[in-house]
Every structure is written in C-alpha cells, then in structure tokens.
Amino acid sequence: MKAEAKKGFTLVEVLIVVLILGLLAAVVIISINNASTDARQNTFVTNIKSFVNAAEYYRYKTGEFIESADPGQVPVGWEEFIEARKWTKHTPIGGQWHVADLDVPAGFTSCIGIGVTFDGSGETRDEEFMGQIDAKFDDGDLADGIFQQTGSGYYYIIAL
C-alpha cells in the first residue's frame, strides 16, 4: 500500500504568504498616504484661488480692498462673497485662513495676502511641504513669487 501525501501548506509556506501580504499592504498604505497629501494640497490651492477671486470681485463690486482680519475671522463685508464656513474652519492642510496686510513691494501702493497661518496648535506644516504647494503656484521658492512665507504664515500675494 502506498502512503497518501498530506494535503495542506507547511508553516514556512504560510509565513511567506503572510510576509508578501504585509509588504503589499505597506506599499498600498504609503500610496494612499501620498495621494491624501496631494489631495489636501490641491484642495488648499483651489480654495485659496477661490478666495483670491472673491477678494478681487469684492474690490470690483465695492471699490475697496478687503481689510485684514485675525486668523479664522472673515474680513468685514466679505461674508457675502465667500462661504464663511469654509473660511472659519481649518484649512485642508491645517492652520487657519488669514487675510493680512503685507510689506509693500516697490511700485505698488499696498499689498495684502490671503493664506494660512500656523499658531503651533493642531497640524503645522514645514517649509518642504509648503514649498510643494508653492510649486503649484509658481517656482517652489517661498522667498519670492506669488506665494510666499511671511512670518508664521504663507500667503498668496495680491499687490494693489
């Protein structure tokens, strides 16, 4: 009589399959995390462009520029031009939305910035992360261009 072969997997075979599945799961998680970061950055860029357009429309309709306000506070008179709930909650990348008077470049009478400030509470972003956002606007250099770092904030600059 011939001995029948056992059907099933050895412990080594099972461990190899578990190891392969673990590696695949790690790759997928990293990919999802990167996609999530890109999505947050792109949403931030879209939102800030919408706010800049609203500021320009405000100027067109009222003949005045929006005024600076505390972080997270809607500038006076701007409520009807934006969705206030989007402005008063945290930005997609953390921090709070902010309109600030900025240093005036040569040849302009005034300068405002629409952007984000980080006060140290909640999610804070570093220069590398914000440089990636700057690259979506212009050159990736936070020291110049249309999107710049100023103090504790990062602003889309509107020179007037």
More confident residue, 6 or 158: 158
Question: Average model confidence (pLDDT) for the chain?
Answer: 86
Residue 154 domain flag: yes
Residue 120 domain flag: yes
Residue 94 domain flag: yes
What is the span of the domain harbouring residue 78?
43-159
Query: How many domains in the chain?
Result: 1
DSSP string for residues in 102-135: -PPPTT-S-EEEEEEE--SSS----HHHHHHHHH
More confident residue, 5 or 145: 145
DSSP string for residues in 49-98: HHHHHHHHHHHHHHSSPPPP--TTPPPTT-GGGS-HHHHHSBPTTSSEEE
Phi then psi for 46, rounded to 5 degrees? Answer: -65, -45
Instruction: Characterize the bridge pairing of strands 111-117 and 153-159.
Output: antiparallel
Distance between CA 28 and CA 5 in Å, rounded?
38
pLDDT higher than 90, residue 74: yes
Residue 34 domain flag: no
Band of residue 62 on the pLDDT scale cut at 50, 70, 90: very high
Instruction: Express each pLDDT in 5-31 by its tens digit.
Output: 677 888 888 889 888 888 888 877 776
Residue 52 domain flag: yes
What percent of the chain shows pLDDT beyond 70? 89
In this structure, are residues 156 and 113 in contact, taking their beta carbons and an 8 Å threshold?
yes
What pTM does this model have? 0.76
Phi then psi for 52, rounded to 5 degrees? Answer: -65, -45
Residue 6 domain flag: no
Instruction: Express each pLDDT in 80-127 by its tens digit.
Output: 999 999 999 889 999 999 999 888 766 667 788 999 998 877 678 889
Q: What is the pLDDT of residue 106?
A: 66
Short-list 66, 90, 92, 91, CA closest to 79: 66
Residue 61 domain flag: yes
Residue 3 domain flag: no
Distance between CA 112 and CA 137 in Å, rounded?
17
